[in-house]
Structure formats: C-alpha cells, structure tokens
Chain A
Amino acid sequence: MNLSILLWGIPQAMRVAARVYPDYAERLKERDVVAQIKLRDEPEVGRWIKLDNGRISTGKGIHANPDIAVVFKNEALAKSFLTPPFDQMERIDAAKNFKILLEGPDDLAIWFLATLSRLESVYWKAGTDMGNGVTRYTNGTNGGPLFVYVKDGKIIRTTPIDFTDEDEGTWSITARGRTFSPPRRMTLAAHGACQKSMVYSKDRLLYPMKRVDFDPDGERNPQNRGISEFERISWNEALDIVASEIRRAKAVGPGAIAVDHGSHHQWGNLGHYLCAFNRFWNLIGVTKLMHSPDSWEGWFWGAMHHWGNSARLGCPEFYGTVEDCLKEAEMIVFWSSDPDSTYGFEGTQRREWARELGIKMVHIDPFLNHTAAHLGGKWIAPRPQTDAALAQALCHVWITEGLYDKDFVDDKTTGFDQWKAYILGESDGIAKTPEWQEAETGVPARDVRALAREWGTKKTYLGAGSWGAGVGGACRGPTGMQWARMMAILGAMQGHGRPGYNFGNLQFGTPIDHNFYFPGYAEGGFSGDLAFSANSANNYQRMPHIVTMSTVRQSIPRMWFPEAITQGKSFGYITDVTTVQSQFFPFGYPSPGHVPVEMLYKYGSQLFGTMVGGNRWARAYQHPSLKFIVNQSVWHEGETPFSDIILPACTVFEKWDIGETFNCGPGYVHHFYTMNNHRVITMQHKCIEPLGESKSDYDIFAAVSAKLGLGAVYTEGGTSELDWVKRVFDSSDMARHVSWRQFLKKGYWVVPAEKEQARVPLANNWYYEGRKKDTPDPYPLPSDYTGEYLKGLQTPSGKFEFVPTTLGRIDDPDRPPLNQYMPTYENPERNPELEAFPLKLQTAHTRYAYHVMGDSTDSSLADIREHRVCKGGHYYLVARISSEDAEARGIRDDDLIRLWNRRGSVVCAAQVTGRLRPGTVSAYSGSAQYRPVGEPGRSTDLGGCVNMLNTKEPITKKGHGMKPNSVLIQVEKWTGADDWQPTAETV
C-alpha cells in the first residue's frame, strides 16, 4: 500500500475506535499533542496528527511546530512498520539499530505510540459472559489458577478451574491391573484460594506515601524508619522524589543504588521481578542482593558434588517417576518430606493411588507432618538435624547384610571403598551401627534395622524433601549438607534409576508433555536480561525483544545485607548454577571501583519474617548511610514502614499478565510443571481496575523511566502490558493450537496429553542402563562433560562420586570430601552457654501461606486455627509444642507463648500436640507481620517472625547459604511484660 494512504489511515482508525469505544475516546483526551510522522531520507514526506481535548485533526506533510516526532529511516521501513501483521523482529531491529527515532518528551512520545498500538487491542474481548452482569475471568497465583467472577467492577468469587469437554490433556497410567487418571481440574493451594480476601485486604497500599519526617531537601531522619507515620502524597510528587534520588545516587558512583525483591513474586511472566523489575534496574545499573538457594541449601552446597545436577541446584532428576513408582515400587520413604504443605494438592491424589495399591509408606520427620498424617504409615521421629546419622546406620546394615546394588556401585560410582571403610568404622574406629545412631537420633536401633532390611529387599522410592527430589525440610539446617549428601548416597547404594528405585514421592514426575513450549516465569519475560534469568535458553529466540544489561558489578549476599550497611563490608559466594565449581567464586562488597550503597529500593518481601536473625534488619534500615529507601509493595507488611517513600503496586487481578501454572524455567526449577496433573496456561485478565491509586509494577517502572528519559527504552516504544501478553502468546507453541481471540476470551488452555510412546524417559534410568542422557534437560552444558557428550554425570569422573573430587578442590571444614557425621547443630551438651534453651525450633515452609504471601492481617487464612489464633484482637502465629513440653510449662491449646533465645523473642499461640518429638517446637517461617512491642529490632515481636531466632551463621564457611532450623530456644507463657534484649548476632 502507498505510504501516504497508510499515514492517512491512522487518524481515520483513531476516529473510528473513539466512536465505537468510549475508553479509547477517553484515552485521546488524556494528553494534547501534535505528533509528526516523517521520513529521515525524504524530509518533506509525512503526516501530522493533532489531539486537542480528544479532537483529532490531521494534515499531510510537515507540521511547523510538532511536540513529538516519529522518524523512520526511509519509506520501506515506514510501510513495513505500519502494515499488519507486524513483524516484531523487524521492529526490534529498527529500534536498537537507530532506524526509527523518537523526538520530543519521552513520556509524551510513548503515550502517543501506546495510543497507536491500542488501535489493535481496543477491539479485543476478554472474559466469558455468565449472565446477570457477571463476567468470568481467569488469573494465576503461586497457588494455582483461578476463575474470577466479576460484577460491577468487583470480584465476587474465585474458584478452582474445572475443565469442560472441550479441554484436552488428561493422561492415564495403568499399574498392577488398575488404570489411574487424574481429576479433570486444577486444584489450589490455600494461598491461592485466599486471594479475594487479599485483594480487598485493609492492608492494601492504595496511595503513594512519604514518611512524615523525611525531607529529601533537609532532615531525612533515617533513625525513625519503622517508627514514624506516613502521609499521602501525589504520584507526581512521589515519582519526582524517586527519580531525583536515583539521579543523585547514580552521580555518587557505580553501585550506590541497591535493589532487593522477595524470593517470589505474584504469579505472571511479565509482572515478575525477573521481568518488569530486572528490565528497569538493568537500565539504571544497581547493586544486587545475591540470594542464596535458600530452599535447597544442602543440595546446592553439598549433594551437587556427588552427582552434578547443578542446574537443579544439586537435586536429582524426576522425569517419569509417577508412572514408574505406581507400577513398580513397594515402598516410599518420605524423608523430611511434606508435599501436602505449601504447594497445593495436585500430588495428593497420586499418593492416594499408591496407598490403594498397597505401597508401604514410611515418614522420617521430627513432626508427624501433614502428608504423613493424611497418608498413614510408619512415623520415625529423629532428633532434629541428626538424620544423617540415621542414614549412615542404614548404610551400615546394607553393607554388613549385603543389601545394596553391588553392580551399580562397582560400575557406576567411585570412592565406595573409602565410604565403606568409614561406615564400618575401619577408618575412624566408630562403626556407624543402628545402636550408634540411636544415641544421636533417639530412634530405636530396631526401627533402623527393620527399615534397612525392608528398603534393601523391596523396590523403594526415596522421597527426599518436599518434592521428593529436593526442596525444603532438613536441607535447610546446620547439618543440611550432610543430610542431602546422605540422600544422594542412599540413592546410589540402591542404584537409583532402575525400575522401582528412584527419587520421588509422586509430587513430581507426571506424564505430561515436557516438550511443548510455553515460557516459564524464570525465562524473564521481556526483561531482556540474559545474565540473571533463563532468558537465553528459549525465550530470547522465541520472543524478539531488546537485551538489557546492568553495568554495575557489585553484589551483597542478602542474608548479610545488615552487616554490609552497618559495618560497610560483606562477603559472599555467587549463586551460579551453570556448573558445579561456580559456587566456589567469592565476591566482596564493596566491589573494586564501586561505591557503598546509599539508596535501597525494596520490591515486596518482608525480610523480618523470612531472613535468619531478622532483628538485624531494623538497625540496617535505620542506618544513616542509607540515605533513601523506597518500598514498592502491594500490602503493608512488617518492613514496609522501614522506608521513606511507599509506592502502591496492584495485585495480578488488576493488571494484564500471562503464565503457566507452576512453570518456572531452566536453571531454576526446570519442568516445575511436572508437579501438575495437567499443563494449564492462563491468561491473567485484568479483572478489575487497580484499587485506589495503586498501579501495576510495570506501569510504576514505566512512569519512573519516563521521568529519567528511559521510557521509550523501558517500554520498547510504548508497549502496554496487554501487548506484551500477546507477544508472549505468539512466542509459545500455544499459538499453533488456539487463536489469540479464543484464548483471551476463555482465559485458559490445557496442553494436550501426548501419546504414551512419546512420554519422557524415566529419570536416571539412562545412567543406570549406561545410555546417553535422554532426559529433556539442557544441562550439563557440552563443555561440562569430561568424557563424551551426553555420557555420564556432571562430575570430574563422570560417575557418581561417594567421595567428591570437587570438594577436594576447596578446603572447607564444613563439607569434607568424605561425608562424615558432624553434630554441628546447637546442643546444650556441647554448648553449655545454651543451657537455658532446651528446645529445638523447627521453622519449615508454611502450610497455608506461601512464605509471607497470603498472610496479611485480614486474609481469610488468618481465621485458620492451625495458622493464626485471635487473642485480644490480634492474630498470633501458631507454634506447635509437644504435649510433654507443654505440660511441663503449664501451656494449653491457644495460650500465648513466648519463643525466645538471645537473637530474638516472638509471641505465638500454642497448639499442643502429640505429633512432635518431645523437645521440639515447630512454627512456620513466613510471617508477613512484624509487631515489635518496643524498639524495633530490640524487643519482643508479636507478629510471628520466628526466623528472628535463627542464626545468621552460614551453612558452610565457603558459601553464604543459610541454616534456618533447629536452633535452641526456650518457651514460656507470655505474660505481656517485655524485658527481652538481644545479646547475640545483632548489628
């Protein structure tokens, strides 16, 4: 088409859209502008469009005084740009190679471009009309996908998604004469089911706010963070302060701005911190807070060295294990494994099938956890963090009674002789017998012998950690590395990978299609970040977008951020999953050529509740060297007031996004969706308008970008969130099966089930059988094989190493190559100064909330008696205490009790139970609330931040992983009078 006709068509299309859609007419009234479209090589060719209070006028040629201009290099480019269907690759190429330029104020230019691109999306229809003025939308949460029923702009109901006949995707497994098929629906976790109450929570941040005694041009009063009140300000004022502070800090030097986000975000590929947040900060250049793999610590720093699996954070493969377990296994040992907590109930049905088939269950955990209580079976309760001793005694029985896979050990492993000599006591004089472990673990020797013989003679699955293949539980503790290493060793001794012997508890490893491409959130959306997301694996090729990169090379280990601020230095190790030895790389703060941090931008999260020794943060946040703190959050949580400016973000229900349930990405948890019975991709509809003046994270960063002249770069020329969603859709295999319009309307799509013959091969079986690796996993990278590509494991020998070579290459007393049992937990017998603290605190992942998510003060979770208990108007976090320990202290159900040691003091509500080994207290580690009785960081907390009691000492001296478990505490009835003071690990 002729260019002049194309240009003439633009204002015509705008007029039509404004006539049909009042929203579009309203948008045209937002800004007055004269926009010029022209060619660089033919300066007289073009068209101007003038908007004046929504009225459109236009003219051919060049306007004398335009506000903005869109300049194409030549006619061919302009024609291609303006003719649908649009070629995204060409657009990106034109933008990043300066073939198209924007002139004029950044915010006005991107507003105009967004107004043009809205010409396409204004015709799109979202949601299903249910009659009576009700529209049914869809959305995604960390706890699963939802239908969202909306009437008159208000969410009236959220429900799980039940499939209809038109949805495909259901597999079946035939095992022992029975055929099993999962229910045709998606189940939710509690933190997904409480979302309506979270949207309308009174804890929502609805307006930008400023601390009353913070004056950017005068006294900043950092010492009053967390104490002073806040006052409402306008968005414009807030954005001006934030933008000018960014400029000020950037002028100080590289690294003066530090940014931090939670470990997770609301669901969605675009709003995630790995996308909207990373893209913005890559354009600014910031000091990152380096997270440790804090749900995988023992696997990452320990087990990885035995078998590689670096990209799985040291955890084993899990492919195809549901089918194999149901067909072959005779027993499942759940070791520190509670999959029915935190992650929903997709796997619960599968475990019930196993129970129906008569597969025996054993549960090893100091707490009779929820999975164990529901499934039944033998409960073995070792003293917390002594599990490695129990595991070594199993090895002793297997070796002395010949109950292990000798062929596998001979052919496929190294170092067994040394391991055997240690277990038998030949090398250190101590045989690791069942009686030896009894003194350590408190588990009767007879139970260990019975378990070892059963395991050694029956096909057994080892469900290690929550997912059966890692995560949570005993790996997060002082002996977490020893435990995870023992899990790997137990697997190897039984030849994991042969049918019936593998890692799993039926939580992972469903027979769903692992090759169908839809990007996981960890692929970074439009972040353009090739360094700190899984973008480069697939997303970058699939969805053309502009690369971004931060030029600042400074990091701080998150768990020691307080020391970095208050003492001016810190030291950590890189969390890099590329290969095994990358975890040995140290980094220091400050970095060479960089400057100390003086501005902090917080994005969600509540570190008082999630970080060990949480009291340390109060001093850091109040430190005068931190001249400016922004908190951009959805909810007012415990640490929100420890800031100067609060920016209100909206929930996923108030913005556009897209995501697949439990799809994460390579290098994070690759094929995480194998936890589900179906792969379900959901449109995350903008179900309602943002509450109050809250905005989506993307819109907030776009607004700050515009103030800094980066708006066009950040938004790639005015791309809206909905436009990005369409680009993600187009990048995925889903676009080959369903039209955009159908998907946008219905809101979800189920990936079809594949033929049985096409199913993914069984995990670890290729190695057991001596084949090339045939599981669909991009790691190890080709350069990481010491032998032939795809042959062998990611270890120097290419074999399973009982005594890892890589641990011999560093000198770390916490993880010697031989996995000796070291009782490195706090113990009054070895630490007499801790005599006053006789109980061991377990701080596992939460059952109902997701870390702090869902734990707002008026979330519907608050009324769950096993989560929080209301006393005197406040909801106290529940702490479980054994009947014996409760009786000794006169504690009864729902009594307020104080849990304390020298690092922290927290008031909880008691649940007295026979489900705990006496001497053990259990409270979940994700409180969103922090309510110090007195001075922040130096008084008792009523909010439930039990992580305050955990130590900041690292799990290993040459790593910065945490060990948030099994510290010693005392418990007493709460009197209401607080005289507690921290005497350890404060800053």
Chain B
Amino acid sequence: MAKKWNLIVDVARCDNCRLCFLAVKDEYVGNDFPGYSAAQPAVGQHKWLDIRRKERGAYPLVQARFMPVMCNHCDDAPCIKAATDGAVRKRPDGIVIIDPEKSKGQKKIAAACPYGAIYWNEEKQIPQAWTFDAHLLDQGWTRTRAEQACPLGVFRTIRVEDGEMMRIQAEEGLEVLRPELGTRPRVFYKNLHLMTTCFVGGTVVRHSDGVEECAAGVEVVLKQDGREVGRATTDTFGEFMIDGLEPGSSGYHLDLTGPSGRFSTRFDLGDESPYLGVLPLAAG
C-alpha cells in the first residue's frame, strides 16, 4: 500500500486569524507552477482555501466557530468524472490535480464539485483549486503552507497508508464533509460538531433576601423523550451549556436542581442553538 497525503483540520482550534488563507494567496497569486497550477487571480472571489463561519447561540451566550474548507482531494472525485481528456487526475499519493492546460474551457469541472471548492478563472478559462501544495511536497516539504502558517495548530499534514488513516480517523473521531455523497475526501475534520450541532444554554439565578444572585453549582439534566442526553453544572455566573444536539430535534426536557430550588422547562430545537435566558430557581 502506498503512503498517501491526508490533511486533518481541527475546528475547535480555529479562530479565523486567516494566516492559512493568506499563505495560500501568497503561494498561488502571481506564481505559475507548470504541471500543477496556473496563478490564482490577484483579487476577486477565488478562495482556494476559504473559511466558513458559524455563530452558535445568541447574545449574551454565543460562540463563534470557524472552519477552513478547501479541495478535499476526494478518492472518488466528482470533478475527475466530469472532466474530459484526463484534465483532472488522481496521483498515486492521493492528490487530485486539475491540469491547467488540459482543463481549459471545462467549466463543468468547477460545477461538479459538491463542496464549492473549485473556482472558475474567467480570464484564463480554467477551473482551479487548492493543489495540496503538491509542488512543494514534491520538493521535500513535509507540511502544507497552511499548516506552517497556522499559529494555533489547526492543521496536520500527514502521509500514511490508507489503513493507518482509517485507524487515526476512528481513534480521533474524525469526520469528512458530506460523507453521504460517497466522495471519500482526504481532508478530515476534528470537532466538526462545533459547526454542525447545537447547544442549549441558560443563566440560572436564585433570590436571597430579595437580592438576585447567580446560582452556581446547580445540576442541569437534559432529557429527550425521557432519556438523559446531557448533563452540566452551572458555573460561578450561573451559566451552563450542553452541546452536541441535533438541529431540528425535539422533545427536550431540562431540569435544574440546586440547594435553593428547582426549575424545569421543555423545548424543541430549530436550526440554531437556543439561549433559554435567565432561569429562576423556585423553592420546592
């Protein structure tokens, strides 16, 4: 089995500093790499490495999450199937290359990508995507520019046999984007649930001699259809958050239990993470 390139992206570590995005611009704008890629347009909408953003929750309990997305170098790549004249090829090391010469005029290659990661170069009339920095890896680089630039350790560029990658995927709970398409991406995501699932949060308060205080240390139990699906304890400020809920799921029951009282509520989820607001404990 040949060793192949894979990229692991940890969503939890990304803070949208954009250094990966800028490194990819730096590498490809103004530079032709014959056999690999033609230069990326200097300005415009080409984002060979893009960063998608997602806010979860609502003021004042809100999270900002970010996720780099780029060509997935799929093992069963729709762009390869859409291309004619062998304009898109799969290298033995797993990297997908869109030939900057042969792909000329083949707009269908860009249209075929279900991830929106292939960009159409209007001036040169070619489809373009991130090449996994294949021209650098072939010169002996061991990391992509994005990984080198990242100050937060979001990326891991690794070259292993597919069996080993499957083991790592299982061990670390890695996911790929839209697995239902069967494209078999070589870009794997860690903590993807931070982009795709919901949390529920709230602020718990108690009253003491008529003065409102934050209720710390309150046990929070979340049940769905009678089954416990999450548990948390409120912090110093009475806040809690239970994560990993499926958008659109329903039948939730939240129970708060503290020394100074209890609180219960029911809710269903939409697409967004709900902030339940200020929840007063009541005696009994």
Q: Is B183 an interface residue (CB 8 A)?
A: no
Q: Is A915 an interface residue (CB 8 A)?
A: yes
The answer to whether A158 touches B26 (Cβ under 8 A) is yes
Most buried by B among A348, A450, A917: A450
Q: Is B223 an interface residue (CB 8 A)?
A: no
Question: In the complex, what distance in Å separates the CA atom of A359 from the CA atom of B226?
Answer: 36
Q: Is A446 an interface residue (CB 8 A)?
A: yes
Given contacts A446-B213, A863-B43, A918-B59, whether A197 and B26 have CB atoms under 8 Å apart is yes
The answer to whether B16 touches A370 (Cβ under 8 A) is yes
Question: In the complex, what distance in Å separates the CA atom of A914 from the CA atom of B58?
Answer: 5
The answer to whether A190 touches B17 (Cβ under 8 A) is yes
Annotate A328-340 by CB proximity to B: 1 below 8 A, 0 otherwise.
0000000000001
Q: Is A547 an interface residue (CB 8 A)?
A: no
Question: In the complex, what distance in Å separates the CA atom of A196 from the CA atom of B19?
Answer: 13
Question: In the complex, what distance in Å separates the CA atom of A884 from the CA atom of B62?
Answer: 14
Contacts of B188 in A (CB 8 A): none
Contacts of B149 in A (CB 8 A): 159-160, 188, 193
From B27, B42, B63, B237, A450 is in contact (CB under 8 Å) with B237
Contacts of B249 in A (CB 8 A): none
The answer to whether A348 touches B18 (Cβ under 8 A) is no
Contacts of A914 in B (CB 8 A): 55, 57-59, 62
Question: In the complex, what distance in Å separates the CA atom of A862 from the CA atom of B42?
Answer: 11
Given contacts A190-B22, A193-B26, A860-B25, whether A450 and B236 have CB atoms under 8 Å apart is yes
Residues B184-224 near A (CB distance < 8 A): 205, 211-214, 216
The answer to whether A863 touches B47 (Cβ under 8 A) is yes
Residues A376-392 near B (CB distance < 8 A): 376, 378-379, 381
- Shortest CB–CB separation between residue B181 and chain A, in angstroms? 25
From B57, B58, B151, B212, A349 is in contact (CB under 8 Å) with B151
- Shortest CB–CB separation between residue A517 and chain B, in angstroms? 28
Q: Is A830 an interface residue (CB 8 A)?
A: no
- Shortest CB–CB separation between residue A504 and chain B, in angstroms? 20
Contacts of A860 in B (CB 8 A): 21-22, 25-26, 29
Annotate B22-34 by CB proximity to A: 1 below 8 A, 0 otherwise.
1101110111000
Q: Which residue of A lies closest to B57 (CB)?
A: A914
- Shortest CB–CB separation between residue B271 and chain A, in angstroms? 14
- Shortest CB–CB separation between residue A236 and chain B, in angstroms? 32
The answer to whether B239 touches A340 (Cβ under 8 A) is no
Residues of A in contact with B, size category: 35 or more
Question: In the complex, what distance in Å separates the CA atom of A498 from the CA atom of B174?
Answer: 45
Q: Is B145 an interface residue (CB 8 A)?
A: yes
Annotate A115-154 by CB proximity to B: 1 below 8 A, 0 otherwise.
0000000000000000000000000000000000000001
The answer to whether A916 touches B26 (Cβ under 8 A) is no
From B19, B53, B59, A188 is in contact (CB under 8 Å) with B19
The answer to whether A348 touches B214 (Cβ under 8 A) is no
Residues A306-325 near B (CB distance < 8 A): none
Q: Is B64 an interface residue (CB 8 A)?
A: yes
Question: In the complex, what distance in Å separates the CA atom of A450 from the CA atom of B212?
Answer: 11
Contacts of B15 in A (CB 8 A): 340, 348, 370, 373-374
Q: Is B169 an interface residue (CB 8 A)?
A: no
Question: In the complex, what distance in Å separates the CA atom of A444 from the CA atom of B214?
Answer: 10
Contacts of A378 in B (CB 8 A): 235-237, 239
Question: In the complex, what distance in Å separates the CA atom of A883 from the CA atom of B213?
Answer: 28
The answer to whether B25 touches A446 (Cβ under 8 A) is no
The answer to whether B29 touches A197 (Cβ under 8 A) is yes
Interface residue total, chain B, C-beta cutoff 8 A: 47
Contacts of B152 in A (CB 8 A): 345, 348-349, 352
Q: Is A972 an interface residue (CB 8 A)?
A: no
The answer to whether A193 touches B145 (Cβ under 8 A) is no
Annotate A859-875 by CB proximity to B: 1 below 8 A, 0 otherwise.
01111111000100000
Annotate A812-852 by CB proximity to B: 1 below 8 A, 0 otherwise.
00000000000000000000000000000000000010000
Annotate A345-377 by CB proximity to B: 1 below 8 A, 0 otherwise.
110110010000000100000001010011010
Contacts of A193 in B (CB 8 A): 18-19, 22-23, 26, 149
The answer to whether A345 touches B151 (Cβ under 8 A) is yes
Question: In the complex, what distance in Å separates the CA atom of A857 from the CA atom of B237?
Answer: 45
What is the interface of chain A mostly: helix, strand, loop, or mixed? mixed
Residues B52-99 near A (CB distance < 8 A): 53, 55, 57-64
From A160, A196, A344, B148 is in contact (CB under 8 Å) with A160
Contacts of B30 in A (CB 8 A): 154, 156, 196, 200
Q: Which residue of A lies closest to B207 (CB)?
A: A446
The answer to whether A913 touches B55 (Cβ under 8 A) is yes
- Shortest CB–CB separation between residue A506 and chain B, in angstroms? 14
The answer to whether B21 touches A870 (Cβ under 8 A) is no
Contacts of B23 in A (CB 8 A): 159, 193
Question: In the complex, what distance in Å separates the CA atom of A864 from the CA atom of B62?
Answer: 22
Contacts of B237 in A (CB 8 A): 378, 447, 450-451
Q: Is A67 an interface residue (CB 8 A)?
A: no
- Shortest CB–CB separation between residue B225 and chain A, in angstroms? 29
Annotate A447-460 by CB proximity to B: 1 below 8 A, 0 otherwise.
10111001000000
- Shortest CB–CB separation between residue A128 and chain B, in angstroms? 15
Q: Which residue of A lies closest to B43 (CB)?
A: A858
The answer to whether B64 touches A915 (Cβ under 8 A) is yes
Question: In the complex, what distance in Å separates the CA atom of A444 from the CA atom of B239?
Answer: 13
From A197, A349, A370, A883, B25 is in contact (CB under 8 Å) with A197
The answer to whether B60 touches A381 (Cβ under 8 A) is yes
Contacts of A882 in B (CB 8 A): 59
Contacts of B216 in A (CB 8 A): 450
Given contacts A196-B30, A345-B151, whether A863 and B212 have CB atoms under 8 Å apart is no
The answer to whether A454 touches B62 (Cβ under 8 A) is no
- Shortest CB–CB separation between residue A960 and chain B, in angstroms? 35
Annotate A561-599 by CB proximity to B: 1 below 8 A, 0 otherwise.
000000000000000000000000000000000000000
- Shortest CB–CB separation between residue A454 and chain B, in angstroms? 5
Contacts of A188 in B (CB 8 A): 19, 149, 151
Residues B88-143 near A (CB distance < 8 A): none
Q: Is A194 an interface residue (CB 8 A)?
A: yes
Question: In the complex, what distance in Å separates the CA atom of A381 from the CA atom of B62?
Answer: 12
- Shortest CB–CB separation between residue B241 and chain A, in angstroms? 10
Q: Is A19 an interface residue (CB 8 A)?
A: no
The answer to whether B42 touches A157 (Cβ under 8 A) is no
Q: Which residue of B lies closest to A848 (CB)?
A: B18
Given contacts A368-B62, A450-B237, whether A864 and B151 have CB atoms under 8 Å apart is no
Most buried by B among A194, A340, A349, A446: A446
From A187, A197, A379, A445, B60 is in contact (CB under 8 Å) with A379
The answer to whether A449 touches B21 (Cβ under 8 A) is no
Q: Which residue of B lies closest to A340 (CB)?
A: B15
Annotate B217-252 by CB proximity to A: 1 below 8 A, 0 otherwise.
000000000000000000111110000000000000
Q: Which residue of B lies closest to A859 (CB)?
A: B43
Contacts of A454 in B (CB 8 A): 236
- Shortest CB–CB separation between residue B59 and chain A, in angstroms? 5
Contacts of A445 in B (CB 8 A): 211-212
Given contacts A197-B26, A914-B57, whether A864 and B148 have CB atoms under 8 Å apart is no
Q: Is A417 an interface residue (CB 8 A)?
A: no
Contacts of A447 in B (CB 8 A): 214, 237
Q: Is A935 an interface residue (CB 8 A)?
A: no
Task: List 10 extra interface pairs beyond A370-B15, A860-B29, CB under 8 A.
Answer: A157-B27, A340-B15, A368-B62, A379-B62, A446-B238, A451-B237, A857-B43, A860-B21, A863-B45, A865-B53
A-to-B contact residues, CB < 8 Å: 154, 156-160, 162, 187-188, 190, 193-194, 196-197, 200, 340, 344-346, 348-349, 352, 360, 368, 370, 373-374, 376, 378-379, 381, 444-447, 449-451, 454, 848, 857-858, 860-866, 870, 882-884, 913-918
Question: What are 22 pairs between A and B in contact, CB < 8 Å?
Answer: A156-B30, A157-B26, A157-B31, A162-B148, A187-B151, A197-B26, A200-B42, A348-B151, A349-B151, A379-B60, A449-B213, A450-B214, A454-B236, A857-B43, A861-B22, A870-B45, A883-B58, A883-B59, A914-B58, A915-B62, A916-B59, A917-B59
